[in-house]
Amino acid sequence: MPEVSRVIDVPPDAVFAVLADGWLYAGWVVGSSHIRDVDGDWPDVGSRIHHSVGPWPLHVQDVTVVRAVEPGLSLSLEAHGWPLGAAAVGLTLVPHGDGQTLVRMSEHIIRGPGKVLPEAVQALIAKPRNNESLARLADLATGKHARAKNGHPRP
């Protein structure tokens, strides 16, 4: 299963705060272009983000569903995104150093035409995109954490 990781200079709760805000999903997930709706109980198991994938006007309306969650520690998603199908995405947050978080992100296609791709090909597709997703997640978490520390809780 292709996996990437990144150390982010904020504690795990600050990273999870971004993951727990479904409206920020398109801000860190490469390929997601527009959030149409977020279930009110996001990120509870079974809750969904209704989003578009791809550039306008060629985007496809799809969803991402929470499959498992441990607040502050991990989030497992089933991300739908044609043309490849659906992927299992795992995010794990590990305390690292003084106030930092090691974020691990894994992804593999579980359904659809992309499932026939060998793991090496899936990795060629997923790793660069997921490295960029973690870079964006780091920026959002760092900015949101800095604003909260300075008394400005909203992004």
By the 8 A CB rule, do 122 and 109 touch?
yes
Asked if the model's pLDDT at residue 153 lies above 70, the reply is: no
Confirm whether 114 is domain-assigned: yes
Token pair 């400005």 in the structure block, residue = 152
Confirm whether 155 is domain-assigned: no
By the 8 A CB rule, do 33 and 52 touch?
yes
Residue 53: per-residue pLDDT: 81
Confirm whether 152 is domain-assigned: no
Residue 103: per-residue pLDDT: 98
DSSP H helices in the chain: 12-19, 25-28, 119-149
pLDDT, tens only, 13-32 = 999 999 999 999 999 999 88
Residue 82: per-residue pLDDT: 64
Residue 83: per-residue pLDDT: 67
131 compared with 54, residue with greater pLDDT: 131
Confirm whether 54 is domain-assigned: yes
Confirm whether 24 is domain-assigned: yes
Confirm whether 154 is domain-assigned: no
pLDDT band at 126 (very low <50, low <70, confident <90, very high): confident
139 compared with 119, residue with greater pLDDT: 139
Distances (CA, A) of 79 to 64, 69, 151, 154: 4, 15, 34, 27
Domain range for 59 is: 3-147
Confirm whether 73 is domain-assigned: yes
Q: What percent of the chain has pLDDT over 70?
A: 95
pTM of the entire predicted model: 0.90
Residue 100: per-residue pLDDT: 97
pLDDT, tens only, 28-78 = 999 888 999 999 999 999 999 999 887 778 778 889 999 999 999 999 999
Q: Which of 64, 141, 65, 76 is nearest to 102 (CA)?
A: 141
Asked if the model's pLDDT at residue 122 lies above 90, the reply is: no
Find the CATH number of the domain harbouring 76.
3.30.530.20
Please give the tally of structural domains in the chain. 1
Phi, psi of 142 (to 5 degrees): -65, -45
When pLDDT is averaged across residues 79-90 and rounded to a whole number, the result is: 83
Confirm whether 52 is domain-assigned: yes
